[in-house]
Structure 1
Amino acid sequence: MRMLPYAAVMRAVLVVNPQATATTPAGRDVLAHALASQVKLDVVETDYRGHAMAAAAQAAVDNVDLVVAHGGDGTVNEVVNGLLAAGGAAEARPMLGVVPGGSANVFARALGLPRNPVEATHILLRALEEGRSRRVGLGSVDIGAGQHRWFTFSAGMGWDADVVADVDRKRGKKASPALYARVAAARYIRPGHSRPDLTIEIPGEAPIEGLRLAFVSNTDPWTYMGTRAIHLNHGCSFETGLGLFALRTMRMPTVVRHISQAFSANGETKGKNLVRRDDVAKIIVSAAEPVRLQCDGDLIGARTRVEFTSVPGALAVAI
């Protein structure tokens, strides 16, 4: 646990996504007022994709102490990528604060934060008052051409990334568990394109070929459907390496079996068509044809080779 600077002299930036599912002008104002009572605060409202990343990167350049993300997982992911864009020592980076404002809020809930923004704000304020923080590991994605992308809870290649792409195209609709479920079912029934086989390489193991999808987790749960957690790698946490969940077939019995297991209370996943690993330092996924990639529910694009790396203790979170 790292002791934070005395809150009254901290400099902070609040990054708000006004388009997120559960953010409102009134909620933004309450949050800003509460934070301003303890820190020297600037507020940034995002109005384009990448704005949160740019704001967080500028905050890091300006040596701000704390950046608070108020929005969904996409906003949090952008802020995290902005904070880490300049590299350097983990201890020198601004801390992250999170107040949920999206539909799933996977990263915040995996940290133990409540879905209610007011309750989460109270926890953040107490952390500042008491000097509490938690250092968490992150996943780093090498997407080629010297480009990297960080993810906080999950990344995937194949079916889930196709679903993210389809939801992206429905931007006029509010993201919700029901929307994702409908899109996932439609994409499963009508893939829209061939699904090339994936090959996975893990240090110390022979390459695993003939896989149909690959999910990489940085924590557990993998995601939520409303109040229900979906567990793919129950042994995964912010203090361990990455988790891998991959399937050799997308046939209906296999998919139904593993969806049922993922919704179970103990999150135990097993089966002859499943390849699962926990606490892995590095995972390489490749394919003969480009396959879509998503990180924290944000579509990155199609790639033929992606390298996922666990980075322990990459970021401090005020909690």
Structure 2
Amino acid sequence: MSTSTPLSNSDTPAAPSFEPLGAGNKLPGDSGVFVILNPVAGSMKTDLLRTALNETFASRGIVPTIHLTRPEDNLRQLVTQALEQGHDLIVAAGGDGTIAAVADALVNRRAASGVTPTLGIIATGTANVLARELGLPLDPLAAARLLAHPKGRRALDVMRVQDRHFVVQIGLGLDALMIRDTPRTHKRRWGRLAYLLVGLSHLIGFRVHRFQLWIDDQPRYTKRGLQLVVANSGTLGQEGFHWGPNISPDDGVLNVCLVGARTWRHLLDVAWAFFRGRAHHHRRIHHFEARRRITLDSRPRLPVQADGEVIGTTPLTIELVPRALAVLC
């Protein structure tokens, strides 16, 4: 089953997704660069990254303001203060969770002011899904150089859950359990392998879930399976692994992927399809499209992860907000 409803005029983004930033034009950051750096994400040394940022922006006569995150930080408040002080480029340096939190703060500011601020990304985390999706450098030093001398700016859709906004994927099932149960110390030591080990432990004696979906104005759809993902990005965080070839964060569509594996045989068959890059054609992976909103529920109730953070449990409603986030690339 695939749902497809036409976009109304209000839903259709008016501007192109990619805006070139040519020579002679004012660049994001000319009025000030504010960097939100998570010092515990990944293995990159904070002092090395701080030096790289200062050196790369010095070529434009800019001294970036660098804030090291603390557990008690209110990032929405921090971003609002930085923008009010005149900074026109906000850089998130960290893992997917840090990037998502800064993106949420920028979209929230856009909703309040009507102005779309610009986000710069330096991916230093474990999966770095958004950076992979956008083709950004995974080397933090190269990413810093790109931010100082960007080629353009891309307008991305976001997903709204209550008053929070997410960019990459929202998942129910195995991925949320992996994120919930993988200790930070293991992620820093073993990287993506830490998630894999936790995932394998959950697959021993895995349970099939009953998912219910309400997509746009379509009737309820019910299906049993192992995993459900609402994908604004098709990348899975590992090169060559995708939910589908036509999933893009700027196409005005949310893609729902439901893995209908119910036995070990089904599961191995699906895994082999992912390894071959053929998951989008597999008969046990069901695809749907939404252009406005999705409501999800499950039996039993399941944890929900959004952009690498467990945000609660089912049920939940996800709304599409088109072209709400501008990202340097």
Q: Report TM bin, short chain.
A: 0.7 to 0.9
1:78 Cα deviation after fit: 1.0
**2:313 corresponds to which residue?**
302
Is 151-160 or 118-127 further displaced after alignment? 118-127
Q: Comparing both chains, which one has the higher relative contact order based on Cα–Cα distances under 8 Å and sequence gaps of 6 or more?
A: 2
How far does the alpha carbon of each residue in 1:98-151 deviate from its partner, in whole angstroms, 9 at most, with x for none?
112112211011111121112222222221xx6x31111122223xxxxx3222
**1:94 corresponds to which residue?**
117
Letter in 2 for 1:292: P
**2:195 corresponds to which residue?**
180
Cα pair distance change 1:79/1:248, threshold 3 Å: same
1:49 Cα deviation after fit: 6.5
Give 3-state SS (helix, strand or coil) of 2:158's partner. Answer: strand
**2:234 corresponds to which residue?**
220
**1:248 corresponds to which residue?**
260
Contact 1:11 1:64 in 2 (8 A): yes
2:224 pairs with 1:211: yes
d(CA) in 2 for partners of 1:8 and 1:289?
A: 48
Cα pair distance change 1:288/1:239, threshold 3 Å: same
d(CA) in 2 for partners of 1:252 and 1:120?
A: 41
Is 254-263 or 111-120 further displaced after alignment? 254-263
1:26 Cα deviation after fit: 1.2
The runs of at least 4 aligned residues of structure 1 exceeding 4 Å deviation read 49-54
Is 176-185 or 232-241 further displaced after alignment? 232-241
TM-align CA RMSD: 2.5
Contact 1:69 1:98 in 2 (8 A): yes
2:272 pairs with one of 249, 252, 260: 260
2:311 pairs with 1:311: no
Give 3-state SS (helix, strand or coil) of 2:108's partner. Answer: coil
1:298 Cα deviation after fit: 0.8
1:301 Cα deviation after fit: 1.9
**1:27 corresponds to which residue?**
49
How far does the alpha carbon of each residue in 1:253-297 deviate from its partner, in whole angstroms, 9 at most, with x for none?
2222222222334553321x3321246432210135532110111
1:233 Cα deviation after fit: 2.7
Letter in 1 for 2:148: L
2:71 pairs with one of 48, 57, 78: 48
d(CA) in 2 for partners of 1:8 and 1:59?
A: 12
2:242 pairs with one of 218, 223, 231: 231
Give 3-state SS (helix, strand or coil) of 1:216's partner. Answer: strand
Give 3-state SS (helix, strand or coil) of 2:301's partner. Answer: strand
d(CA) in 2 for partners of 1:202 and 1:291?
A: 19
Is 72-81 or 19-28 further displaced after alignment? 19-28
Question: Structure 2, unaligned stretches of length 5 or more?
Answer: 1-18
d(CA) in 2 for partners of 1:49 and 1:181?
A: 30
Identity of aligned residues (%): 24
d(CA) in 1 for partners of 2:205 and 2:70?
A: 34
d(CA) in 2 for partners of 1:265 and 1:195?
A: 24
**1:140 corresponds to which residue?**
160
1:315 Cα deviation after fit: 1.0
Contact 1:103 1:177 in 2 (8 A): yes
**1:10 corresponds to which residue?**
31
**2:304 corresponds to which residue?**
293
Cα pair distance change 1:50/1:214, threshold 3 Å: farther
